[in-house]
Amino acid sequence: MPTRFVFADEAGDFTFKRRNGASRYFMLCTLTTDDCGMASELLHIRRELCAAGGDCDKLHCTEDKQATRDEVYKVLAKHKFRVDATLLEKSKAQPQTRTSDATFYQYAWYFHFKHVAPKILTKDSKLLITAAALGQSKTKAAFKQALNNTVQQIVPRSQWEVSFLDSAKDPLLWAADYCAWAIQRKWERGDDKSHSLIKSAISSEYDLWAPGQVHFY
């Protein structure tokens, strides 16, 4: 049974109030590929940062310098993969969906994966879903359980495995982070410069609650 690789990252925060620094959207972004070959090229960029004496634990778009971003997006442009993003405008989230951060995360995964799973999974394939670990040690288990609970509602158990990793441990999580950052910049700031560099890979970019008129804060 061939394996398809799904790497997930999120953008935005769990702050459900209007204040400086709080994001308008919470976004879940997945990168799906049959070939993880770009990992070696991303590791090379990280090693070059180490050799130059820079911070080289991982690549992280928000913190990386523009020169590093340029190199990463060049690598992404050379490879074939699929990107899907689901955006949830937080002010439209009904109170029962945000009783805890893990609960809201599970709702985001459910709406995202219900749409994406039929597009990426065939009856003869299996998904390895690798998600960037969220939260502190006390809450990581809750986020992981939220993800597992969602996937088992949508995909037969024989066709998936979930890996919940610190983002430093897999270069394809860095790639997912870069895709999420580019999409978030477009939606939060109207800056589509980086978005244009991955646009051809984006299969879906969905504002889930766009028709909604009610804001809860």
pLDDT in tens, 162-180: 999 999 999 999 999 999 9
pLDDT band per the 50, 70, 90 thresholds, residue 73? very high
Token output for 79: 């490879």
Within 8 A by CB and 6+ apart from 73, the residues are 178, 194, 197, 198
pLDDT band per the 50, 70, 90 thresholds, residue 55? confident
pLDDT band per the 50, 70, 90 thresholds, residue 22? very high
The model's pTM: 0.95
The amino acid at 190 = G
Looking at the predicted structure, is the pLDDT value of residue 35 above 80? yes
CA–CA separation, 198 and 178 (whole Å) = 9
Q: Mean pLDDT of all residues in the chain?
A: 95
- Per-residue pLDDT at 90: 98
pLDDT, tens only, 136-160: 777 889 999 999 999 999 999 999 9
- Per-residue pLDDT at 148: 95
- Per-residue pLDDT at 68: 96
Q: What is the DSSP string of the chain?
A: --EEEEEEEEES----S--TT--SEEEEEEEEES--THHHHHHHHHHHHHHTTS--S---TTTS-HHHHHHHHHHHHTS--EEEEEEEEGGG--GGGGSSHHHHHHHHHHHHHHHHHHHH--TT-EEEEEEE--S-HHHHHHHHHHHHHHHHHHS-GGGEEEEEE-GGG-HHHHHHHHHHHHHHHHHHH---HHHHHHGGGEEEEEETTTT------
Token output for 54: 């820079």
Count of alpha carbons within 13 Å of 98, Cβ hemisphere only?
16
- Per-residue pLDDT at 138: 74
